[in-house]
């Protein structure tokens, strides 16, 4: 696709967004690529159109919605340095709302929204955490994908996330005792594993870290408390996902030594 005049971008993008509902995977992939090409030329304009489309069509089928969210992620990854800050803020808000709109877990939809937050978080971690932590409040079990997003962020941006982890785990620990559903037990244990791995990586590379004064004992109390819940309570579950916590707790154990 060649360079398109600015006046034509809106019309072409709208047609592509409509076509994103096609059931043919080949067509879907072409739509993604075409919108990305436009987004590379005019990221703010194309992101605005994607956002407006989702807001104006709240009852889109999940597959259509997912493809548009995936396209937003692609544009963000490709042009994050060229997207205006106000647009970044609005993308964060949109992705957060899409991720938590349904209280039920709808993996494909919510994962697509989460991926946008993770992509933005590679550069704007403070803005992402301001939004996410607003949905991660003491005494209230969070949405599954809020926890999943925190875990993914600790993987993708170790140096940005580790400074937040002490506060995050301090909020999370009381939630563990409130958790009854096995899928939430799994996502919490998975997140604790990722957090532990991130802490170990941060400590192993202090020469590159923004805060070289961070020490393992900064996190030891929270890690020990999490270890206690996982091994003395949750590990007894028969749910296969929770059994996978045996593997996930290995980094926590290492970090607790």
Per-residue pLDDT of the chain (257 residues; tens, 9 = 90+): 445 566 688 999 999 999 999 999 999 999 999 999 999 999 999 999 999 999 999 999 999 999 999 999 999 999 999 999 999 999 999 999 999 999 999 999 999 999 999 999 999 999 999 999 999 999 999 999 999 999 999 999 999 999 999 999 999 999 998 999 989 999 998 999 899 999 999 999 999 998 888 888 888 888 888 888 887 777 665 555 555 555 555 555 555 54
Residue 41 and residue 108 share a domain: yes
Query: Which residues are CB-contacts of 211 (< 8 A; sequence separation ≥ 6)?
Result: 163
Which CATH number characterizes residue 57's domain? Answer: 1.25.40
Residue 166 and residue 59 share a domain: no
Residue 186 and residue 101 share a domain: no
Residue 160 and residue 118 share a domain: no
Residue 147 and residue 83 share a domain: no
> Which residues constitute the domain of residue 4?
1-123
Residue 43 and residue 149 share a domain: no
Residue 206 and residue 148 share a domain: yes
3-state secondary structure 151-195: HHHHHHCHHHHHHHHHHHHHHHHHHHHHCCCHHHHHHHHHHHHHH
Residue 164 and residue 113 share a domain: no
């Amino acid at each position: 696709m060649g360079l398109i005049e600015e006046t034509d971008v809106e019309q072409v993008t709208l047609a592509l967004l409509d076509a994103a509902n096609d059931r043919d995977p080949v067509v879907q992939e072409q739509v993604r690529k075409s919108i990305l090409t436009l987004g590379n030329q005019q990221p703010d304009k194309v992101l605005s159109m994607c956002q407006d489309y989702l807001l104006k069509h709240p009852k889109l089928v999940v597959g259509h919605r997912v493809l548009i969210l995936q396209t937003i992620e692609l544009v963000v990854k490709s042009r994050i340095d060229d997207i205006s800050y106000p647009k970044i803020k609005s993308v964060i808000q949109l992705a957060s709302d899409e991720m938590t709109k349904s209280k039920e877990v709808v993996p494909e939809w919510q994962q697509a929204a989460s991926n946008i937050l993770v992509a933005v978080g590679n550069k704007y971690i403070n803005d992402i955490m301001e939004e996410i932590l607003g949905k991660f409040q003491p005494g209230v079990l969070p949405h599954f994908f809020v926890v999943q997003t925190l875990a993914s962020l600790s993987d993708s941006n170790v140096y940005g996330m580790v400074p937040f982890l002490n506060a995050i785990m301090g909020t999370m620990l009381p939630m563990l005792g409130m958790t009854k559903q096995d899928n939430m037990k799994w996502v919490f244990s998975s997140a604790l594993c990722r957090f532990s791995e991130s802490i170990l990586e941060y400590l192993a590379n202090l020469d590159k870290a923004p805060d070289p004064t961070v020490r393992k004992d900064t996190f030891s109390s929270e890690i020990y408390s999490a270890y206690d819940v996982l091994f003395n309570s949750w590990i007894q579950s028969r749910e296969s996902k929770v059994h996978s916590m045996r593997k996930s707790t290995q980094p926590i154990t290492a970090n607790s030594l």
